[in-house]
Amino acid sequence: MTEITIEHALTAGGLDAFRTVGDLKQRAATLLAEIRQGAEKRERERILPHEQIRRLGSERLLTWRIPRSQGGPGATVRETVQFVIDVAAADSNIAQALRPSFLFIESLLAAGDESLLKRWLPRYLRGDVFGNAGWEIGGANGAVSATIVRDGDHYRASGSKYYSTGSLYADWISAVALDDGGREIRFMLPRERPGLELVDDFDAMGQRLTASGTTNLVDVLVREEDIVPAPANPSGTASRSIVPPFAQLFLAAVEAGVARNALEDAVHFARHHARPIKHSSASRSVDDPYVRFSVGQISALAYAAEAVVLRAADSIDAAWSAGLEDDSIVRASIDVAQAQFIAAESALRASELIFDVGGASTTARKHNLDRHWRNARTVANHNPRHWKAAVVGAWHLDGITPPTSGLF
C-alpha cells in the first residue's frame, strides 16, 4: 500500500493547512444536527449508519487530538470529550462505534513514536475510520486465544474476535494475537485484506448499530509494517498509561450523551404528545407540576453526568501537562472512575424517568423511547460501575492505586 505523507493528506481534496478546533466545532454543529434527525428511525429499523460515519471521517471530525505539528487542530482532551458527548446526544451508537478511532490516536500520542505518528496520522487526515477486533468470548474477560506465527518475512494470524466495535464501518481493523512465546502482538489491518472476515451478528439489546459483531482471522497475512509496537517499558513491570483513563472516560461520555438525549426526547414528548392525566390540575402536560418535576430531574441528571465527565477530562489534560507522571495518571484514573459511576447512574435513571412525562403512550414502539435505557444499560455493562466505586473507595481508605488492567 502506498505510504501517505502528511503533506499529501493535507492537500488531498482541497484541505487547508490544518483544521482548527473552532472549524471542527462549526462542522460538528451542522453535521450532528443532521445525524440527530434520523437516529430514532435508524435504530428502530436497524439502518446501519454507514453514511453518517463516513461523513464524520471525511469532515475530519476524528482528528481532534492530532497535534498541530502533525497537521491537526491540537484539541485538548476536554474539547475532544465534549465532542464525544455531543455525538452521543445525537446518536449514541455512532459515538460508541467511533471509540476505536479515538483510542488509536491517543495510544499513538502516548507512545510518542515518531515513525508511528507519520505512518498513521495522515490516514486520519484523509478521512479514514478505525475499528477494533480485540476482545474474545469463551474465556476470562480480556483473555486472548488468537495466534500469530511467523511466515517468512511476515506473519499469519488466526482466531475469532467478538465485540469488534465499529469494524463494519472502518477502513482499518486493529486486532491482537499471541505469538509463540505467549506475548500479545497488536496489528492494524486494512479491511480488504484476504482472510479478514467481518460478520454483522451483534445481537445486544442496546447499542445495536455499533456493528460490534464477530471478526474472523482466517490465516490472514500480517505484514511487518502492520505491527503496532507496544510502548517500551524498560523496568519490565506493568506500566501505568494515560490511555486506559481516556478509554474509560469515552464510555462515560457516551452515557452523558444518552442522558442529554433522554432529556431532549422528554421535553419533545411533553410538548407534542403527552396529555395531562384526568385528575391533573393542568390543561396541558407542560403545565402539570409532576411533568415539570420529572423533566427537571432528568435535566439535573444530564447536567451532572456531563459536568463530571468534563471535570475528569480536565484531569487527563492535567496529566499530560505534568508529563504523564505516575501520580497524575493515578489521579486521572480515580477521577474517571468516579465520572463513570455518576454518568452511568445518571443515564440509567434519566432514561427511566422519561416515561414519567406521559402515560401509556410513552411505551409505544413508534416513539422508541426505551432505546435510551437499553443503550445506557449496554454501555454500563462494559465495565461494571461497582468496581469503579470500590477502586475509588480503596484509594481513599488505604491509598491503593487502581489496577493496570486497562479498565481504569
Q: Residue 381 CA to chain centroid, in angstroms?
A: 14
Report strand pairing: 214-222 vs 154-161: antiparallel
User: Are 257 and 170 part of one and the same domain?
Assistant: no
User: Are 349 and 386 part of one and the same domain?
Assistant: yes
User: Are 87 and 22 part of one and the same domain?
Assistant: yes
Helix (H) or strand (E) run with residue 35 in it? helix 21-45
Q: Please tell me the predicted confidence (pLDDT) of residue 17.
A: 44
Residue 381 domain-assigned (yes or no): yes
Q: Please tell me the predicted confidence (pLDDT) of residue 136.
A: 84
* Residue 242 to residue 313: CA distance in whole angstroms: 11
Supply the angle between the helices 21-45 and 77-90 in degrees, to the nearest 10: 30
Helix (H) or strand (E) run with residue 267 in it? helix 243-272
* Assigned C-alpha cell, 379: 454501555
Q: Which structural domain, as residue segments, surrounds residue 362?
A: 243-398
Q: Please tell me the predicted confidence (pLDDT) of residue 12.
A: 47
Please give the tally of structural domains in the chain: 3
User: Are 124 and 152 part of one and the same domain?
Assistant: no
Q: Please tell me the predicted confidence (pLDDT) of residue 258.
A: 98
pTM: 0.93
User: Are 213 and 332 part of one and the same domain?
Assistant: no
User: Are 110 and 251 part of one and the same domain?
Assistant: no
Residue 194's CATH number: 2.40.110.10
Name the nearest CA neighbour of 223 among 150, 173, 159, 131.
150
SS (H, E, C) 65-125: CCCHHHCCCCCCHHHHHHHHHHHHHHCHHHHHHCHHHHHHHHHHHHHCCHHHHHHHHHHHH
Residue 137, helix vs strand vs coil: coil
Exposed, middle or buried by CB within 10 Å (0-12, 13-18, 19+), for 230?
middle
User: Are 394 and 253 part of one and the same domain?
Assistant: yes
Q: Give the number of other Cβ atoms within 10 Å of residue 209's Cβ.
A: 26
User: What type of residue is 295?
Assistant: V
Q: Please tell me the predicted confidence (pLDDT) of residue 138.
A: 67
pLDDT along the chain (408 residues), means of 10: 55 55 95 94 94 96 96 97 98 97 96 93 96 79 87 95 92 95 94 96 91 94 91 52 96 98 93 72 71 94 98 98 96 98 98 90 88 96 92 97 89
